[in-house]
Structure 1
Amino acid sequence: MFRRILFPTDFSDYARRVMDCIADLPGVMEVVMVHIVGTNKPASLRSDMVSSARTRIESEATLLKNLGIPSVRTEVMVLESPAAGIDDAANRNNSDIIVMGARGKSIIKGLRLGSVTQKVLHESKKNLLIMRGPIIETLSGEKFQKYCPLIFSRVLVPVDLTTESWIAVEQLAKIPDVQEIIAAFVISRGESEQEIERLKQQAGDELEKKCSQLPTRGAEIRWRILEGDLVTRINDYAQETDVSLVCTVPTEKGFFAEMLHGSFSCELARQATKPVLVIRRS
Protein backbone atom coordinates (compact mmCIF):
# COMPACT_ATOMS: atom_id res chain seq x y z
CA MET A 1 0.00 0.00 0.00
CA PHE A 2 2.79 2.42 0.93
CA ARG A 3 5.64 1.61 -1.41
CA ARG A 4 6.96 5.15 -1.97
CA ILE A 5 7.84 7.13 1.17
CA LEU A 6 8.73 10.79 1.60
CA PHE A 7 10.88 11.18 4.72
CA PRO A 8 11.77 14.69 5.98
CA THR A 9 14.80 14.72 8.27
CA ASP A 10 16.45 17.32 10.48
CA PHE A 11 19.34 14.93 11.24
CA SER A 12 18.37 14.68 14.91
CA ASP A 13 18.71 11.43 16.86
CA TYR A 14 14.89 11.24 16.85
CA ALA A 15 14.77 11.50 13.06
CA ARG A 16 17.49 8.87 12.80
CA ARG A 17 15.38 6.43 14.81
CA VAL A 18 12.41 7.12 12.53
CA MET A 19 14.67 6.44 9.55
CA ASP A 20 15.87 3.15 11.04
CA CYS A 21 12.25 2.11 11.49
CA ILE A 22 11.36 3.04 7.90
CA ALA A 23 13.87 0.48 6.70
CA ASP A 24 11.84 -2.23 8.42
CA LEU A 25 8.39 -1.18 7.22
CA PRO A 26 6.85 -3.84 4.95
CA GLY A 27 6.76 -3.36 1.20
CA VAL A 28 8.83 -0.16 0.91
CA MET A 29 10.44 0.20 -2.52
CA GLU A 30 11.48 3.86 -2.57
CA VAL A 31 12.37 6.53 -0.02
CA VAL A 32 12.88 10.19 -0.87
CA MET A 33 14.78 11.91 1.92
CA VAL A 34 14.28 15.66 2.27
CA HIS A 35 16.04 18.28 4.35
CA ILE A 36 14.93 21.89 4.37
CA VAL A 37 17.13 24.84 5.30
CA GLY A 38 14.91 27.67 6.48
CA THR A 39 15.15 31.15 4.95
CA ASN A 40 15.23 32.45 8.52
CA LYS A 41 18.85 31.34 8.66
CA PRO A 42 21.45 34.08 7.98
CA ALA A 43 22.09 34.38 4.23
CA SER A 44 25.83 34.29 4.83
CA LEU A 45 25.54 30.83 6.38
CA ARG A 46 23.05 29.20 4.05
CA SER A 47 25.54 28.04 1.44
CA ASP A 48 27.61 26.18 4.03
CA MET A 49 24.45 24.80 5.65
CA VAL A 50 23.20 23.45 2.33
CA SER A 51 26.59 21.91 1.54
CA SER A 52 26.76 20.28 4.97
CA ALA A 53 23.17 19.03 4.67
CA ARG A 54 23.88 17.45 1.29
CA THR A 55 26.85 15.57 2.72
CA ARG A 56 24.85 14.32 5.70
CA ILE A 57 21.75 13.34 3.76
CA GLU A 58 23.79 11.36 1.22
CA SER A 59 25.49 9.54 4.08
CA GLU A 60 22.14 8.62 5.63
CA ALA A 61 20.77 7.63 2.21
CA THR A 62 23.64 5.17 1.90
CA LEU A 63 22.67 3.69 5.26
CA LEU A 64 19.08 3.21 4.08
CA LYS A 65 20.28 1.51 0.91
CA ASN A 66 22.47 -0.79 2.98
CA LEU A 67 19.42 -1.66 5.08
CA GLY A 68 17.69 -2.99 1.97
CA ILE A 69 15.66 -0.11 0.47
CA PRO A 70 15.89 -0.57 -3.34
CA SER A 71 15.72 3.12 -4.26
CA VAL A 72 16.76 6.09 -2.10
CA ARG A 73 16.89 9.65 -3.41
CA THR A 74 17.67 12.91 -1.64
CA GLU A 75 16.71 16.59 -1.81
CA VAL A 76 18.01 19.63 0.06
CA MET A 77 15.96 22.80 -0.30
CA VAL A 78 16.04 26.37 1.02
CA LEU A 79 12.48 27.42 1.81
CA GLU A 80 10.49 29.68 4.10
CA SER A 81 7.93 27.01 5.01
CA PRO A 82 9.25 23.50 5.77
CA ALA A 83 5.70 22.08 5.82
CA ALA A 84 4.90 23.45 2.35
CA GLY A 85 8.23 22.14 1.07
CA ILE A 86 7.54 18.68 2.45
CA ASP A 87 4.12 18.58 0.83
CA ASP A 88 5.51 19.83 -2.49
CA ALA A 89 8.26 17.21 -2.47
CA ALA A 90 5.73 14.46 -1.73
CA ASN A 91 3.58 15.56 -4.65
CA ARG A 92 6.48 15.96 -7.10
CA ASN A 93 7.83 12.52 -6.26
CA ASN A 94 4.39 10.88 -6.28
CA SER A 95 4.98 9.56 -2.77
CA ASP A 96 2.30 7.32 -1.28
CA ILE A 97 2.91 8.56 2.24
CA ILE A 98 4.90 11.04 4.32
CA VAL A 99 6.61 9.54 7.38
CA MET A 100 7.55 11.97 10.15
CA GLY A 101 8.42 12.02 13.82
CA ALA A 102 6.11 13.70 16.29
CA ARG A 103 8.78 15.33 18.40
CA GLY A 104 7.97 18.86 19.51
CA LYS A 105 9.62 21.29 21.89
CA SER A 106 6.90 21.20 24.53
CA ILE A 107 7.86 19.59 27.81
CA ILE A 108 4.20 19.11 28.75
CA LYS A 109 3.11 15.50 28.39
CA GLY A 110 0.49 15.12 25.69
CA LEU A 111 1.52 18.24 23.79
CA ARG A 112 4.53 16.86 21.99
CA LEU A 113 3.53 17.28 18.37
CA GLY A 114 6.11 19.28 16.44
CA SER A 115 4.91 22.40 14.64
CA VAL A 116 6.08 21.18 11.22
CA THR A 117 4.37 17.81 11.68
CA GLN A 118 1.20 19.57 12.80
CA LYS A 119 1.20 21.83 9.72
CA VAL A 120 1.74 18.88 7.38
CA LEU A 121 -1.15 17.11 9.09
CA HIS A 122 -3.41 20.12 8.57
CA GLU A 123 -2.33 21.18 5.08
CA SER A 124 -1.15 18.15 3.10
CA LYS A 125 -3.45 15.83 1.18
CA LYS A 126 -0.94 12.99 1.40
CA ASN A 127 -1.23 10.02 3.71
CA LEU A 128 0.80 10.65 6.85
CA LEU A 129 2.43 8.28 9.33
CA ILE A 130 3.42 10.01 12.57
CA MET A 131 5.96 7.92 14.44
CA ARG A 132 5.82 8.35 18.18
CA GLY A 133 5.56 6.49 21.47
CA PRO A 134 7.87 3.77 22.86
CA ILE A 135 8.61 2.50 19.36
CA ILE A 136 10.73 5.62 18.78
CA GLU A 137 11.37 7.09 22.20
CA THR A 138 12.39 4.18 24.42
CA LEU A 139 12.76 0.87 22.59
CA SER A 140 16.25 -0.17 21.57
CA GLY A 141 18.24 -3.09 20.30
CA GLU A 142 16.41 -6.31 19.49
CA LYS A 143 13.02 -5.03 20.72
CA PHE A 144 13.24 -2.03 18.38
CA GLN A 145 14.21 -4.23 15.44
CA LYS A 146 11.27 -6.57 16.08
CA TYR A 147 8.66 -3.84 16.58
CA CYS A 148 9.12 -1.79 13.40
CA PRO A 149 8.17 -4.55 10.93
CA LEU A 150 5.03 -5.17 13.01
CA ILE A 151 3.75 -1.61 13.09
CA PHE A 152 0.79 -2.51 10.84
CA SER A 153 0.02 -5.76 12.64
CA ARG A 154 -2.66 -4.62 15.12
CA VAL A 155 -4.52 -1.44 14.22
CA LEU A 156 -7.17 0.53 16.09
CA VAL A 157 -9.54 2.57 13.89
CA PRO A 158 -12.11 5.01 15.35
CA VAL A 159 -15.30 4.79 13.27
CA ASP A 160 -18.90 5.98 13.24
CA LEU A 161 -21.76 4.78 11.06
CA THR A 162 -20.90 6.93 8.02
CA THR A 163 -19.26 5.50 4.91
CA GLU A 164 -16.42 8.05 5.11
CA SER A 165 -15.18 6.89 8.49
CA TRP A 166 -14.75 3.31 7.18
CA ILE A 167 -12.29 4.27 4.45
CA ALA A 168 -9.38 3.52 6.79
CA VAL A 169 -10.74 0.07 7.64
CA GLU A 170 -11.23 -0.74 3.95
CA GLN A 171 -7.71 0.40 3.05
CA LEU A 172 -6.08 -1.47 5.94
CA ALA A 173 -7.97 -4.64 5.06
CA LYS A 174 -6.07 -4.72 1.75
CA ILE A 175 -2.64 -4.86 3.43
CA PRO A 176 -1.31 -8.43 3.86
CA ASP A 177 0.78 -7.44 6.90
CA VAL A 178 -2.27 -6.33 8.91
CA GLN A 179 -3.24 -9.15 11.26
CA GLU A 180 -5.99 -7.48 13.29
CA ILE A 181 -8.20 -4.42 12.87
CA ILE A 182 -10.26 -3.10 15.77
CA ALA A 183 -13.09 -0.77 14.70
CA ALA A 184 -13.96 1.35 17.74
CA PHE A 185 -17.21 3.30 18.02
CA VAL A 186 -17.23 5.88 20.82
CA ILE A 187 -20.47 7.03 22.43
CA SER A 188 -19.54 10.45 23.75
CA ARG A 189 -22.96 11.69 24.75
CA GLY A 190 -26.41 10.52 25.74
CA GLU A 191 -29.20 12.22 27.62
CA SER A 192 -30.26 9.09 29.52
CA GLU A 193 -29.30 5.47 30.16
CA GLN A 194 -32.07 4.43 27.77
CA GLU A 195 -30.64 6.68 25.04
CA ILE A 196 -27.17 5.25 25.54
CA GLU A 197 -28.45 1.69 25.39
CA ARG A 198 -30.36 2.52 22.19
CA LEU A 199 -27.18 3.92 20.64
CA LYS A 200 -25.21 0.86 21.70
CA GLN A 201 -27.74 -1.48 20.12
CA GLN A 202 -27.88 0.52 16.87
CA ALA A 203 -24.11 0.82 16.65
CA GLY A 204 -23.56 -2.85 17.50
CA ASP A 205 -25.90 -4.02 14.76
CA GLU A 206 -24.25 -1.76 12.15
CA LEU A 207 -20.70 -2.60 13.23
CA GLU A 208 -21.37 -6.32 13.12
CA LYS A 209 -22.82 -6.01 9.63
CA LYS A 210 -19.96 -3.87 8.28
CA CYS A 211 -17.21 -6.00 9.79
CA SER A 212 -18.71 -9.28 8.56
CA GLN A 213 -19.07 -8.01 4.98
CA LEU A 214 -15.61 -6.50 4.58
CA PRO A 215 -13.12 -8.61 2.56
CA THR A 216 -9.58 -8.79 3.94
CA ARG A 217 -6.15 -10.19 3.06
CA GLY A 218 -6.21 -12.38 6.15
CA ALA A 219 -6.79 -9.80 8.86
CA GLU A 220 -9.28 -10.41 11.66
CA ILE A 221 -11.74 -7.51 12.04
CA ARG A 222 -13.31 -6.92 15.43
CA TRP A 223 -15.45 -4.11 16.77
CA ARG A 224 -15.81 -2.44 20.13
CA ILE A 225 -18.18 0.15 21.58
CA LEU A 226 -16.56 2.58 24.02
CA GLU A 227 -17.93 5.41 26.14
CA GLY A 228 -16.37 8.75 27.01
CA ASP A 229 -14.53 11.65 25.41
CA LEU A 230 -13.72 10.67 21.83
CA VAL A 231 -9.98 11.40 21.67
CA THR A 232 -9.21 10.44 25.27
CA ARG A 233 -11.09 7.15 25.08
CA ILE A 234 -9.48 6.13 21.79
CA ASN A 235 -5.98 6.84 23.11
CA ASP A 236 -6.70 5.11 26.43
CA TYR A 237 -8.06 2.05 24.64
CA ALA A 238 -5.00 1.98 22.37
CA GLN A 239 -2.88 1.71 25.50
CA GLU A 240 -5.15 -0.83 27.19
CA THR A 241 -5.09 -3.18 24.21
CA ASP A 242 -1.48 -2.41 23.22
CA VAL A 243 -2.25 -1.88 19.55
CA SER A 244 0.68 -1.19 17.24
CA LEU A 245 -0.98 1.70 15.39
CA VAL A 246 -3.97 4.05 15.50
CA CYS A 247 -5.46 4.95 12.12
CA THR A 248 -7.93 7.68 11.18
CA VAL A 249 -9.45 9.46 8.17
CA PRO A 250 -10.08 13.22 8.44
CA THR A 251 -13.74 13.87 7.65
CA GLU A 252 -16.41 16.49 8.15
CA LYS A 253 -19.22 14.02 8.76
CA GLY A 254 -20.38 11.80 11.59
CA PHE A 255 -18.94 12.31 15.07
CA PHE A 256 -16.37 14.80 13.73
CA ALA A 257 -19.01 17.22 12.43
CA GLU A 258 -18.95 19.46 15.49
CA MET A 259 -15.21 20.00 15.11
CA LEU A 260 -13.19 21.80 12.48
CA HIS A 261 -12.22 19.72 9.46
CA GLY A 262 -9.44 17.33 10.45
CA SER A 263 -9.19 18.61 14.02
CA PHE A 264 -10.01 15.18 15.46
CA SER A 265 -7.03 13.68 13.64
CA CYS A 266 -4.79 16.48 14.85
CA GLU A 267 -5.97 16.15 18.44
CA LEU A 268 -5.60 12.38 18.25
CA ALA A 269 -2.04 12.73 16.96
CA ARG A 270 -1.25 15.37 19.58
CA GLN A 271 -2.28 13.20 22.49
CA ALA A 272 -1.40 9.76 21.15
CA THR A 273 1.17 7.50 22.73
CA LYS A 274 1.12 5.18 19.70
CA PRO A 275 2.10 5.81 16.08
CA VAL A 276 -0.75 7.45 14.16
CA LEU A 277 -1.59 6.82 10.51
CA VAL A 278 -3.74 9.45 8.77
CA ILE A 279 -5.29 8.13 5.56
CA ARG A 280 -6.58 10.79 3.18
CA ARG A 281 -9.73 10.38 1.17
CA SER A 282 -9.09 10.05 -2.58
Structure 2
Amino acid sequence: MLVAFLLTLVAGGATSIGAALGVLGRGTNPKLLAGGLGLSAGVMLYISFMELLPEGARVLSGGVTDGRGTAFAVLAFFVGIALIAVLDRLVPSAVSPHEFAGRMDGSHGESELRAPDEQAADQALRARLLRTGTVTALALALHNVPEGFATFVAALQSPEVAIPVVAAIALHNIPEGLAVAVPVRRATGSRSKAFWLASMTGLAEPIGAVLGYLLLSPLLSGDAMGAILAGVAGVMVFVSLDELLPAAEETGEHHTVIYSLIAGMAVMAVTLIVL
Protein backbone atom coordinates (compact mmCIF):
# COMPACT_ATOMS: atom_id res chain seq x y z
CA MET A 1 0.00 0.00 0.00
CA LEU A 2 2.92 2.37 0.74
CA VAL A 3 4.29 1.84 -2.77
CA ALA A 4 0.87 2.61 -4.26
CA PHE A 5 0.67 5.84 -2.26
CA LEU A 6 4.21 6.88 -3.25
CA LEU A 7 3.43 6.28 -6.93
CA THR A 8 0.34 8.45 -6.60
CA LEU A 9 2.44 11.13 -4.90
CA VAL A 10 4.89 11.05 -7.83
CA ALA A 11 2.06 11.47 -10.33
CA GLY A 12 0.62 14.44 -8.44
CA GLY A 13 4.06 15.91 -7.85
CA ALA A 14 4.59 16.29 -11.61
CA THR A 15 2.35 19.35 -11.38
CA SER A 16 5.35 21.10 -9.84
CA ILE A 17 7.26 20.61 -13.10
CA GLY A 18 4.63 22.59 -14.96
CA ALA A 19 4.58 25.14 -12.16
CA ALA A 20 8.35 25.56 -12.44
CA LEU A 21 8.13 26.06 -16.20
CA GLY A 22 5.41 28.64 -15.64
CA VAL A 23 7.30 30.73 -13.11
CA LEU A 24 10.50 30.57 -15.12
CA GLY A 25 8.63 32.12 -18.03
CA ARG A 26 9.44 29.31 -20.42
CA GLY A 27 6.97 28.27 -23.06
CA THR A 28 6.21 24.75 -24.14
CA ASN A 29 7.32 23.39 -27.48
CA PRO A 30 4.09 22.54 -29.37
CA LYS A 31 5.42 19.28 -30.79
CA LEU A 32 6.79 18.17 -27.43
CA LEU A 33 3.56 19.01 -25.63
CA ALA A 34 1.42 17.34 -28.31
CA GLY A 35 3.64 14.25 -28.23
CA GLY A 36 3.60 13.98 -24.46
CA LEU A 37 -0.16 14.34 -24.15
CA GLY A 38 -0.82 12.00 -27.08
CA LEU A 39 1.51 9.39 -25.60
CA SER A 40 -0.27 9.69 -22.25
CA ALA A 41 -3.66 9.20 -23.90
CA GLY A 42 -2.43 6.12 -25.76
CA VAL A 43 -1.08 4.56 -22.58
CA MET A 44 -4.24 5.21 -20.60
CA LEU A 45 -6.63 4.07 -23.33
CA TYR A 46 -4.71 0.84 -23.92
CA ILE A 47 -4.50 0.03 -20.22
CA SER A 48 -8.19 0.76 -19.74
CA PHE A 49 -9.47 -1.43 -22.57
CA MET A 50 -6.83 -4.18 -22.54
CA GLU A 51 -6.01 -4.54 -18.85
CA LEU A 52 -8.33 -2.89 -16.31
CA LEU A 53 -11.70 -3.58 -17.96
CA PRO A 54 -10.92 -7.25 -18.79
CA GLU A 55 -9.47 -7.77 -15.31
CA GLY A 56 -12.61 -6.26 -13.79
CA ALA A 57 -14.75 -8.62 -15.86
CA ARG A 58 -12.60 -11.59 -14.80
CA VAL A 59 -12.89 -10.71 -11.10
CA LEU A 60 -16.64 -10.20 -11.39
CA SER A 61 -16.92 -13.58 -13.13
CA GLY A 62 -15.13 -15.38 -10.31
CA GLY A 63 -11.90 -16.02 -12.18
CA VAL A 64 -13.26 -17.16 -15.54
CA THR A 65 -14.77 -14.44 -17.71
CA ASP A 66 -18.44 -15.04 -18.52
CA GLY A 67 -21.35 -13.03 -19.84
CA ARG A 68 -22.62 -11.99 -16.42
CA GLY A 69 -19.24 -10.72 -15.23
CA THR A 70 -18.65 -8.90 -18.50
CA ALA A 71 -22.06 -7.22 -18.28
CA PHE A 72 -21.42 -5.97 -14.75
CA ALA A 73 -17.94 -4.78 -15.73
CA VAL A 74 -19.35 -2.83 -18.67
CA LEU A 75 -21.97 -1.29 -16.38
CA ALA A 76 -19.26 -0.28 -13.87
CA PHE A 77 -17.18 1.13 -16.73
CA PHE A 78 -19.95 3.50 -17.79
CA VAL A 79 -20.76 4.38 -14.17
CA GLY A 80 -17.12 5.47 -13.82
CA ILE A 81 -17.47 7.62 -16.94
CA ALA A 82 -20.71 9.12 -15.61
CA LEU A 83 -19.16 10.01 -12.24
CA ILE A 84 -16.13 11.77 -13.70
CA ALA A 85 -18.36 13.49 -16.29
CA VAL A 86 -20.58 14.88 -13.53
CA LEU A 87 -17.53 16.20 -11.68
CA ASP A 88 -16.29 17.74 -14.92
CA ARG A 89 -19.64 19.47 -15.52
CA LEU A 90 -19.48 21.01 -12.04
CA VAL A 91 -16.37 22.92 -13.13
CA PRO A 92 -17.20 26.12 -15.06
CA SER A 93 -16.05 25.82 -18.68
CA ALA A 94 -13.97 29.00 -18.36
CA VAL A 95 -11.72 27.29 -15.81
CA SER A 96 -12.03 23.69 -16.95
CA PRO A 97 -8.75 21.78 -16.60
CA HIS A 98 -8.58 21.04 -20.31
CA GLU A 99 -8.71 24.75 -21.20
CA PHE A 100 -4.94 25.06 -21.36
CA ALA A 101 -4.12 28.49 -19.96
CA GLY A 102 -0.42 27.68 -20.17
CA ARG A 103 -0.28 29.03 -23.73
CA MET A 104 -0.39 32.58 -22.42
CA ASP A 105 2.79 34.58 -22.92
CA GLY A 106 4.78 35.19 -19.75
CA SER A 107 5.32 38.61 -18.22
CA HIS A 108 8.77 40.09 -18.67
CA GLY A 109 8.40 42.69 -15.98
CA GLU A 110 8.67 45.80 -18.17
CA SER A 111 8.78 48.99 -16.12
CA GLU A 112 8.21 51.58 -18.84
CA LEU A 113 5.77 54.44 -18.14
CA ARG A 114 2.33 54.03 -19.65
CA ALA A 115 -0.83 56.11 -19.90
CA PRO A 116 -3.25 55.98 -16.93
CA ASP A 117 -5.90 54.17 -18.96
CA GLU A 118 -3.36 51.52 -19.93
CA GLN A 119 -2.32 51.12 -16.30
CA ALA A 120 -5.96 50.76 -15.25
CA ALA A 121 -6.54 48.15 -17.93
CA ASP A 122 -3.44 46.31 -16.79
CA GLN A 123 -4.63 46.31 -13.16
CA ALA A 124 -8.00 44.97 -14.25
CA LEU A 125 -6.28 42.26 -16.26
CA ARG A 126 -4.10 41.29 -13.30
CA ALA A 127 -7.15 41.05 -11.03
CA ARG A 128 -8.90 38.88 -13.58
CA LEU A 129 -5.83 36.67 -14.00
CA LEU A 130 -5.47 36.22 -10.25
CA ARG A 131 -9.12 35.22 -9.97
CA THR A 132 -8.79 32.86 -12.90
CA GLY A 133 -5.62 31.27 -11.55
CA THR A 134 -7.10 30.77 -8.09
CA VAL A 135 -10.37 29.27 -9.34
CA THR A 136 -8.46 27.08 -11.78
CA ALA A 137 -6.34 25.79 -8.90
CA LEU A 138 -9.45 24.88 -6.90
CA ALA A 139 -11.07 23.27 -9.94
CA LEU A 140 -7.97 21.21 -10.69
CA ALA A 141 -7.70 20.10 -7.07
CA LEU A 142 -11.30 18.80 -7.17
CA HIS A 143 -10.68 17.26 -10.56
CA ASN A 144 -7.47 15.47 -9.49
CA VAL A 145 -9.08 13.58 -6.60
CA PRO A 146 -10.57 10.76 -8.74
CA GLU A 147 -7.38 10.60 -10.81
CA GLY A 148 -5.41 10.02 -7.62
CA PHE A 149 -7.74 7.24 -6.54
CA ALA A 150 -7.54 5.67 -10.01
CA THR A 151 -3.74 5.64 -9.83
CA PHE A 152 -3.82 4.23 -6.30
CA VAL A 153 -6.18 1.38 -7.22
CA ALA A 154 -4.13 0.51 -10.31
CA ALA A 155 -0.99 0.36 -8.15
CA LEU A 156 -2.68 -1.88 -5.58
CA GLN A 157 -3.88 -4.26 -8.26
CA SER A 158 -0.78 -4.48 -10.45
CA PRO A 159 2.48 -2.50 -10.06
CA GLU A 160 3.55 -3.20 -13.66
CA VAL A 161 0.35 -1.51 -14.84
CA ALA A 162 0.62 1.30 -12.31
CA ILE A 163 4.04 2.56 -13.42
CA PRO A 164 2.96 3.54 -16.97
CA VAL A 165 -0.29 4.93 -15.54
CA VAL A 166 1.77 7.10 -13.19
CA ALA A 167 3.92 8.25 -16.11
CA ALA A 168 0.84 9.08 -18.20
CA ILE A 169 -0.88 11.06 -15.45
CA ALA A 170 2.39 12.78 -14.55
CA LEU A 171 2.76 14.01 -18.15
CA HIS A 172 -0.87 15.12 -18.03
CA ASN A 173 -0.23 17.09 -14.85
CA ILE A 174 2.61 19.18 -16.26
CA PRO A 175 0.37 21.47 -18.39
CA GLU A 176 -2.04 21.66 -15.45
CA GLY A 177 0.74 23.17 -13.37
CA LEU A 178 1.36 25.67 -16.16
CA ALA A 179 -2.35 26.49 -16.33
CA VAL A 180 -2.27 27.71 -12.73
CA ALA A 181 1.24 29.16 -12.47
CA VAL A 182 1.23 31.38 -15.57
CA PRO A 183 -1.82 33.55 -14.77
CA VAL A 184 -0.97 33.75 -11.05
CA ARG A 185 2.58 34.83 -11.80
CA ARG A 186 1.39 37.49 -14.22
CA ALA A 187 -1.22 38.70 -11.74
CA THR A 188 0.97 38.87 -8.63
CA GLY A 189 4.49 39.15 -10.01
CA SER A 190 5.49 36.53 -7.43
CA ARG A 191 7.22 33.41 -8.65
CA SER A 192 6.95 31.69 -5.26
CA LYS A 193 3.19 32.25 -4.89
CA ALA A 194 2.56 30.99 -8.42
CA PHE A 195 4.76 27.93 -7.91
CA TRP A 196 3.30 26.86 -4.58
CA LEU A 197 -0.33 27.44 -5.53
CA ALA A 198 0.14 25.38 -8.71
CA SER A 199 2.05 22.65 -6.86
CA MET A 200 -0.66 22.33 -4.22
CA THR A 201 -3.20 21.30 -6.86
CA GLY A 202 -1.13 18.16 -7.47
CA LEU A 203 -1.44 17.20 -3.80
CA ALA A 204 -5.11 16.49 -4.44
CA GLU A 205 -4.08 13.23 -6.09
CA PRO A 206 -2.46 11.56 -3.04
CA ILE A 207 -5.26 13.06 -0.93
CA GLY A 208 -7.76 11.42 -3.27
CA ALA A 209 -5.91 8.13 -2.88
CA VAL A 210 -6.06 8.31 0.93
CA LEU A 211 -9.72 9.37 1.04
CA GLY A 212 -10.71 6.74 -1.48
CA TYR A 213 -8.89 4.04 0.43
CA LEU A 214 -10.37 5.05 3.79
CA LEU A 215 -13.89 5.16 2.37
CA LEU A 216 -13.69 2.13 0.10
CA SER A 217 -11.09 -0.13 1.73
CA PRO A 218 -13.78 -2.65 2.84
CA LEU A 219 -14.74 -2.96 -0.82
CA LEU A 220 -11.25 -3.56 -2.24
CA SER A 221 -11.79 -7.29 -2.64
CA GLY A 222 -14.05 -9.69 -4.51
CA ASP A 223 -16.76 -8.42 -6.83
CA ALA A 224 -16.44 -4.87 -5.51
CA MET A 225 -12.78 -4.79 -6.59
CA GLY A 226 -13.78 -5.95 -10.06
CA ALA A 227 -16.36 -3.18 -10.32
CA ILE A 228 -13.83 -0.59 -9.09
CA LEU A 229 -11.26 -1.71 -11.67
CA ALA A 230 -13.82 -1.38 -14.47
CA GLY A 231 -14.96 1.98 -13.10
CA VAL A 232 -11.36 3.21 -12.97
CA ALA A 233 -11.03 2.20 -16.63
CA GLY A 234 -14.02 4.43 -17.37
CA VAL A 235 -12.43 7.35 -15.52
CA MET A 236 -9.20 6.96 -17.49
CA VAL A 237 -10.99 6.77 -20.83
CA PHE A 238 -12.93 9.94 -20.04
CA VAL A 239 -9.78 11.79 -18.96
CA SER A 240 -8.04 10.72 -22.17
CA LEU A 241 -10.85 11.69 -24.53
CA ASP A 242 -12.09 14.80 -22.73
CA GLU A 243 -8.79 16.32 -21.63
CA LEU A 244 -5.59 14.79 -22.96
CA LEU A 245 -6.52 14.59 -26.64
CA PRO A 246 -8.33 17.97 -26.87
CA ALA A 247 -5.41 19.68 -25.11
CA ALA A 248 -2.98 17.95 -27.45
CA GLU A 249 -4.98 18.98 -30.53
CA GLU A 250 -4.96 22.61 -29.38
CA THR A 251 -1.23 22.68 -30.10
CA GLY A 252 -2.02 22.38 -33.81
CA GLU A 253 0.21 19.30 -34.16
CA HIS A 254 -2.46 16.82 -35.25
CA HIS A 255 -0.20 14.19 -36.80
CA THR A 256 2.19 14.32 -33.85
CA VAL A 257 -0.76 13.65 -31.56
CA ILE A 258 -1.94 10.63 -33.57
CA TYR A 259 1.53 9.11 -33.97
CA SER A 260 2.20 9.61 -30.25
CA LEU A 261 -1.16 8.08 -29.36
CA ILE A 262 -0.33 4.95 -31.35
CA ALA A 263 3.20 4.90 -29.92
CA GLY A 264 1.78 5.03 -26.39
CA MET A 265 -0.45 2.05 -27.13
CA ALA A 266 2.44 0.13 -28.67
CA VAL A 267 4.78 0.84 -25.75
CA MET A 268 2.12 -0.24 -23.29
CA ALA A 269 1.38 -3.41 -25.26
CA VAL A 270 5.05 -4.42 -25.37
CA THR A 271 5.47 -3.57 -21.68
CA LEU A 272 2.55 -5.76 -20.63
CA ILE A 273 3.74 -8.65 -22.81
CA VAL A 274 7.28 -8.47 -21.44
CA LEU A 275 6.18 -8.13 -17.83
Q: TM-score range by the shorter chain?
A: under 0.3
- More helix by percentage: 2
- More strand by percentage: 1
User: How does the TM-score come out when normalised to structure 1?
Assistant: 0.23
Higher relative contact order (CA 8 A, sep 6+): 2
